[in-house]
């Protein structure tokens, strides 16, 4: 190859790129990079008042259409049956490290105390949509079940399986679990949740990104350690695609 200035420039740039790609594949370097997001978690948690609310909007500020993302409809006969039965036999169980395991029907949850909030849903991909969510504060369910003192995280088990073959699941820590805006929503924009938006129950954790907002929630499990579940990273996308567990940025 003749060495010209152009070759040096192009070759140099290509070399840098492959170098960066190689670095990105190196496990130790990835851990180093991940420190950035761990730092964000630490600093956001130290700056954030535990009860600080996500911004709430006026009704006319809502998106005309709330986009459906991720699973559009869970596969399998079990979910299809629930749809046919209008979720009359859907049960939300709360178990794991709790004193009194619980099982709630959707009707029971809808009859309980409710909270409505018009908030912005931010997808990790960059789009946002504003909608009104109505549901029962998670705190009430946790109070009913009585968290044991070893419990540190809540895991949300979902009825949908996605591309990686494992069920969707997500997890949050107790700060978010007891946050006033953390609800199990059963309505979007004053209508029962549509299938695409997570019917019959979906988690709302308003200070984090969209992939935390688990849909089709069937079971809430209190655990002391996330590493024993599935891929061990605390969530479907965390295990499968490498997203950060803390989705506050």
Footprint of another protein on this chain (CB under 8 A)? Answer: 13-14, 17-18, 20-21, 24, 30, 32-37, 39-40, 44, 47-49, 52-55, 57, 61, 63-65, 67, 120, 122-130, 206-209, 237, 241-244, 247-249
The residue among 147 and 182 lying less far from another protein, judged by its C-beta, is 182
The whole-angstrom separation of Cα 132 and Cα 232 is 33
Q: What CA–CA distances, in Å, run from 218 to 9, 13, 87, 214?
A: 56, 50, 11, 10
CB of 45 vs another protein, minimal distance in Å:
8
Long-range contacts of 42-46 (CB under 8 A, 24+ apart): 44/246, 44/248, 44/249, 45/175
CB of 30 vs another protein, minimal distance in Å:
7
Q: How many residues does the chain have?
A: 249
The residue among 105 and 120 lying less far from another protein, judged by its C-beta, is 120
Rounded to the nearest 5°, which phi and psi values hold at 69? Answer: -140, 160
Burial of 192 (0-12, 13-18, 19+ CB in 10 A): middle
CB of 23 vs another protein, minimal distance in Å:
9
CB of 225 vs another protein, minimal distance in Å:
23
Residues 222-247 as b or e (16 or more Cβ within 10 Å = b): bbeebeebbeebbbbbbbbeebbbbb
The residue among 107 and 241 lying less far from another protein, judged by its C-beta, is 241
The residue among 33 and 107 lying less far from another protein, judged by its C-beta, is 33
The residue among 68 and 195 lying less far from another protein, judged by its C-beta, is 68
The residue among 35 and 107 lying less far from another protein, judged by its C-beta, is 35
CB of 77 vs another protein, minimal distance in Å:
31
Q: E strands within the chain?
A: 91-96, 102-105, 115-122, 128-137, 153-161, 167-173, 183-188, 191-192, 202-204, 217-223
CB of 60 vs another protein, minimal distance in Å:
11
């Amino acid at each position: 190859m003749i060495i010209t200035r152009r070759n040096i420039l192009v070759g140099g740039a290509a070399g840098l790129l492959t170098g960066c790609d190689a670095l990105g594949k190196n496990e130790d370097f990835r851990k180093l990079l991940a420190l950035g997001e761990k730092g964000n978690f630490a600093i956001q948690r130290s700056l954030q008042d535990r009860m600080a609310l996500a911004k709430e909007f006026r009704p006319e500020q809502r998106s005309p259409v709330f986009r459906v993302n991720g699973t559009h409809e869970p596969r399998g006969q079990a979910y299809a049956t629930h749809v046919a039965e209008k979720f009359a036999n859907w049960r939300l169980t709360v178990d794991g490290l709790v004193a009194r395991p619980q099982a709630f029907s959707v009707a029971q949850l809808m009859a309980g105390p409710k909270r409505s909030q018009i908030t912005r849903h931010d997808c990790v991909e960059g789009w946002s949509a504003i909608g009104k969510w109505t549901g029962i504060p998670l705190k009430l369910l946790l109070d009913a079940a009585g968290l044991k003192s070893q419990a540190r995280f809540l895991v949300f088990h979902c009825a949908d399986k996605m591309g990686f073959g494992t069920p969707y699941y997500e997890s949050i820590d107790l700060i978010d679990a007891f946050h006033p805006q953390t609800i199990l929503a059963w309505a979007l924009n004053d209508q029962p949740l549509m299938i695409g938006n997570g019917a019959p129950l979906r988690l709302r954790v308003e200070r984090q990104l969209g992939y935390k907002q688990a849909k089709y929630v069937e079971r809430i499990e209190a655990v002391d350690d996330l590493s024993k579940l599935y891929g061990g990273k605390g969530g479907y996308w965390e295990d499968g695609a490498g997203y950060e567990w803390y989705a506050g940025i």
